[in-house]
Amino acid sequence: MIKKYVFGTPFVTDSVVADIPADKSALPYFSITSSSPLVLELELSEEDAIYGLGESVRGINKRGFIYKTYCSDDPNHTETTASLYGAHNFIIIEQGERMFGAFFDVPSVITYDVASTYKDKLIITSDNTDMNIFIIDGSSAYDIVRTFRKAIGTSYIPPMWAFGYTQSRWSYATADSVRNVVKNYRGNNIPLDAVYMDIDYMERYKDFTVDSEAFGDLSEFAKEMKEQGIRLVPIIDAGVKIEEGYNVYEEGVKNGYFCTDEEGKPFEACVWPGMTHFPDFLNPEARLWFGEKYKILTDMGIEGFWNDMNEPAIFHTRRGMDKAQEKIKEYSTGEFTIDRLNELKDLFGGLQNSQEDYNSFYHNTPQGRFRHNDLHNLYGYNMTRSAAEELEKTDPNKRYLLFSRASCIGMHRYSGIWTGDNHAWWSHILAELKVMPGLNMCGFLYSGADIGGFNFDCSRDLLLRWLSLGIFTPLMRNHAACGTRNQECYQYENTEDFRHIIELRYRLIPYLYSEYMKAALSGDMYFKPLAFEYPDDKVARHTEDQLLIGNEIMIAPVYTQNAIGRYVYLPEDMTAVRMSCGELTFEDMKSGHHFVEIPENEIVFFIRCGKAIPLCKSAQNTDSLNRDDLELIGTGNEYELYTDDGISKDYNNPSNIRTIRK
Ligand code: MIG
């Protein structure tokens, strides 16, 4: 049961697709303690839990911090980072015996004080008082999620090749450097499905151009790669370079497709290409126009994209820079004290993604002209929607890989997300594990973190351990920042250790893909917290470093350095599956606490009692997997397999589901 309560005149975000009439009765559960700003409060007791909030830091149970939902380009993902790239305003509240969900449909920032200031209170604050609030009742967390997901529409479904292992780096700047990556993966027999092209493939960072000196004819190169079973996935940035003669810039200016400043002139901000304009993705015509540009690349044989810098990220604007330079001039005489140094540091640091800038440009929408900050969280969502709507037109029956950095609920129908610029830190393996269920609650199923960590150098043991979580995430991508050490698997000794782990991923694809498709088509979760599956088991409820993947398996990856294994809690009897040197062995284990030894080149995961999962043989890429040659493992006798051609959109064909038996 889902009900909608309307406050003021909300902006139509298209986050919810179901037609839900406004309920005229008072908002249930919450007390409204202020109407401007809008402040909602809820009493909690110690055992009550709050779940959700999608891409955010800290635990699966969100208690104990003040979160903000404001799409932010912040590469410091620490315990005290209030907002990350996505703004996902859905929570599930477990309050004593009752459980309900709440979705705050508003495109600007909201603050959630989740039992942080007061241990017994959830306080939600929004300066924007025009908002739809949806309240969802249900018998369980899963039930609430299903009802919510039905209202927001089916999650994005990628092509099956997007479940393969993929390699990225900022940047493989020439065709030869990509060839070299492929040669090394193939040469070491490590499966690989795609290589990403980061910003340097473009001509001076101009969207929809290709540096032909470095890549030659991209159509030819894409074809060459495809022959080796590799797809190329280029990045697209939000900002359009200001450059005379550049068609995207010229068309955008001519047609008024860019965001405007106070005076109505195209707004200027500096990002990778230098000074840019931001396409006004909230203007449907501009969205259509920008989307059509993706065809330039699909016509060259490109089948996937990643959209970046679409919070939108801003390095600086002329306004900010002028102000900072004034200060430097002022301080060029007199004593240069530490206070002055700190002031300048803050001033220059604050040029990036500044609130003053976000408040100084405008969108021209069918609902009127709006200040950017009032619609901020819709920007990346609508950039990605523009791409997805075009791809749908380009080939209506073909799936494309598409994922974005910034997001908002609603975008989950169009693409996946990756979790942005993490670090080569052990704690970021655990952070990834904990963020995934919340993303699923909010509709984002196709996701994954940069394996090995984006910032800083990745050590061999970190990469191995990170892969042992990564083999279960739908998006499995190794990515690293410029300036960091080379992080491809073959850069480390004993490459066979990496090969064995990635081969296990490919063996699991029939299972992972089935579970993904079932979750997408029925509004279920792919990553499930133990608390949702075993709500009456107190220990399970509080175990946040293990997850269920689909309906059959549980994972408990190692996320600390120099560990020989870890403690694992089994809420029920399970079969431990151990991959060692490419061989699988099985051990039936009783429910309860165990210390499980897991050397860094081995993988252990668990199959639940009475259940079975299919495995195929590994192959060099997903297209060459033999998905008919399946072996069932586990104590169960059958498994419901979802299988299709992995590329067309005939998802609901009943012949896609079949029961396979031992
Ligand atoms: O300011 O394109 O999160 O994955 O490699 C950095 C370069 C811009 C940020 C993305 C990252 C990508 C990088 N981009």
CA of 308 to the centre of ligand 1 (A): 7
pLDDT value of position 19: 98
CA of 418 to the centre of ligand 1 (A): 11
CA of 328 to the centre of ligand 1 (A): 30
Please state the atom number of ligand 1 nearest to the C-alpha of residue 454. 4
Domain-embedded: residue 307: no
Give the domain-ending residue among 122, 152, 182: 152
Domain-embedded: residue 547: yes
Domain-embedded: residue 216: no
Domain-embedded: residue 304: no
Please state the atom number of ligand 1 nearest to the C-alpha of residue 481. 5
Please state the atom number of ligand 1 nearest to the C-alpha of residue 237. 2
Tokens of 243: 């450059």
pLDDT value of position 382: 98
pLDDT value of position 56: 98
Tokens of 221: 């190169």
Strand 38-43 vs strand 31-35: parallel, antiparallel, or unpaired?
antiparallel
pLDDT value of position 326: 95
Nearest CA to ligand 1 atom 12: 170
pLDDT tier at 599 (50, 70, 90 boundaries)?
Answer: very high
pLDDT value of position 499: 98
- Count: domains in the chain: 2
Nearest CA to ligand 1 atom 13: 170
- C-alpha span between 144 and 35 (Å, rounded): 27
Nearest CA to ligand 1 atom 2: 199
pLDDT value of position 155: 98
CA of 649 to the centre of ligand 1 (A): 31
Please state the atom number of ligand 1 nearest to the C-alpha of residue 420. 3
Question: What's the whole-number average pLDDT of the chain?
Answer: 98
- C-alpha span between 214 and 200 (Å, rounded): 9
CA of 52 to the centre of ligand 1 (A): 26
CA of 205 to the centre of ligand 1 (A): 12
Tokens of 214: 């470095």
Q: List Cβ neighbours of 314 (8 Å cut-off, separation of 6 or more).
A: 269, 270, 271, 352, 353, 354, 357, 358
pLDDT value of position 451: 99
Please state the atom number of ligand 1 nearest to the C-alpha of residue 171. 5
List, for residues 518-540, the tens digit of each pLDDT value.
Answer: 999 999 999 999 999 999 999 99
Please state the atom number of ligand 1 nearest to the C-alpha of residue 313. 1
Pocket residue to mutate for ligand 1, from 166, 170, 276, 315, most atoms within 8 A of Cβ? 170
Domain-embedded: residue 582: yes
Pocket residue to mutate for ligand 1, from 308, 407, 455, 484, most atoms within 8 A of Cβ? 308
Nearest CA to ligand 1 atom 6: 309
pLDDT tier at 643 (50, 70, 90 boundaries)?
Answer: very high
pLDDT tier at 611 (50, 70, 90 boundaries)?
Answer: very high
CA of 212 to the centre of ligand 1 (A): 22
CA of 237 to the centre of ligand 1 (A): 9
Q: What percent of the chain has pLDDT over 70?
A: 100
CA of 235 to the centre of ligand 1 (A): 9
What's the angle, vertex CA 199, arms to CA 197 and CA 201, rounded to 5? 60
CA of 273 to the centre of ligand 1 (A): 13
Domain-embedded: residue 107: yes
Q: Return the CATH number at 545.
A: 2.60.40.4040
List, for residues 263-317, the tens digit of each pLDDT value.
Answer: 999 999 999 999 999 999 999 999 999 999 999 999 999 999 999 999 999 999 9
Give the domain-ending residue among 123, 152, 181: 152
pLDDT value of position 186: 98
pLDDT value of position 601: 98
Residue 544 lies in domain:
511-661
0.85 exceeded by pTM:
yes
Pocket residue to mutate for ligand 1, from 309, 316, 403, 484, most atoms within 8 A of Cβ? 309
- At residue 648, φ and ψ (nearest 5 deg) are -90, 175
pLDDT value of position 117: 98
> What residues are in contact with ligand 1 under a 6 Å CB criterion?
170, 198-199, 235, 308-309, 405, 420-421, 479
Q: Return the CATH number at 103.
A: 2.60.40.1760
Give the domain-ending residue among 98, 127, 152: 152
Domain-embedded: residue 408: no
pLDDT value of position 235: 99
Mean pLDDT to the nearest integer, 14-40: 98
pLDDT value of position 517: 98
**SS3 sequence, 212-240?**
HHHHCCHHHHHHHHHHCCCEEEEEEECCE
pLDDT tier at 370 (50, 70, 90 boundaries)?
Answer: very high
Mean pLDDT to the nearest integer, 389-416: 98
Mean pLDDT to the nearest integer, 114-140: 98
Q: Is 25 exposed, middle or buried (0-12, 13-18, 19+ CB in 10 A)?
A: exposed
List, for residues 423-466, the tens digit of each pLDDT value.
Answer: 999 999 999 999 999 999 999 999 999 999 999 999 999 999 99
Domain-embedded: residue 228: no
CA-nearest of 535, 559, 556, 560 to 547 is 556
Tokens of 296: 């330039």
